[in-house]
Homo-oligomer: A and B are copies of this chain.
Amino acid sequence: MTIGILGTGMVGQILATALFARGNQVMMGTRNVADTLAKPGNAGRGMASFSDWHQKNSGIQVGTFAEAAAFGEILINATSGMASLAALEAAGVDNLGDKVLIDISNPLDFSKGMPPTLSVVNDDSLGEVLQRQFPRVKVVKTLNTMTAALMVNPAAVPGRHNVFVSGNDVDAKATVKTFLTDQFGWTPDSIIDMGDITTARGTEQLLPIWIRLYGVLQTPMFNFAIVK
């Protein structure tokens, strides 16, 4: 499968590595390829530079947002939430077409300090913003309620826990559910279809408690389970 990942940060790297390892052709998209390759790492956060990472993962292609959007039969929005709309605009409406866009972003606003607030909340969501702005794209919000290492490897947290799916297009959601099971190993019964894209309001508003649980538990390796 060809997959275009918008975003070259740590989340994009983890997704790209996992999807490439499963035999997919992967292109990561960024605003400016030269700038991304020249960016230094962040030693304080234990992050190698993108170019160091890419040297070890040279089978993964790197292009502009537009090139990655054109490349993938399935697209993943792994940009930071505050940058997502601009990233999709740079990708371009023709390159996005009517493809499935797996939106894993959250509208986290760090501008007022920690913990972050949400820049879109309550009676709207980032998933809806993207869907409204790009009505032909089939936005499916999912995986945004957990750390990236768990997105691609749910077994890293033992036991039963859940991933949520929101989107307007039933076929696109079916495609994404199969993607979750086949690419990452989510079991069908761990996937909860929440309904249309407005239900992204529910999953994006899990972030405020997620961030605080990260502080309480001192690890990002946890997930929500719905028990009944």
A residues whose Cβ falls under 8 Å from a Cβ of B: 112, 117-118, 121-123, 157-161, 164, 192-195, 199, 201-203, 205-206, 208-213, 215-217, 219, 221-228
Contact = CB atoms under 8 A, between A and B. Distances in A.
A222 B226 contact: yes
- SS of A interface (majority): mixed
Contacts of A201: 208
A201 B114 CA distance: 13
24 contacts: A117-B123, A118-B122, A121-B121, A122-B122, A157-B228, A161-B225, A161-B227, A192-B216, A194-B213, A195-B216, A199-B212, A202-B212, A202-B213, A205-B205, A205-B208, A217-B226, A217-B228, A219-B228, A222-B227, A223-B226, A224-B225, A224-B226, A225-B226, A225-B227
Nearest to A210: B202
Contacts of A192: 213, 216
A209 B205 contact: yes
A117 to B, nearest CB: 5
Given A160-B227, A192-B213, 8 more contacts: A112-B123, A159-B227, A199-B209, A199-B212, A205-B205, A222-B227, A222-B228, A223-B227
Contacts of A202: 208-213
Contacts of A212: 194-195, 199, 202
A226 B213 contact: yes
A116 to B, nearest CB: 10
Contacts of A160: 227
A178 B206 CA distance: 27
A225 B160 CA distance: 10
Among A117, A209, A210, the one with the most B-chain Cβ atoms within 10 Å of its Cβ is A209
Contacts of A193: 216
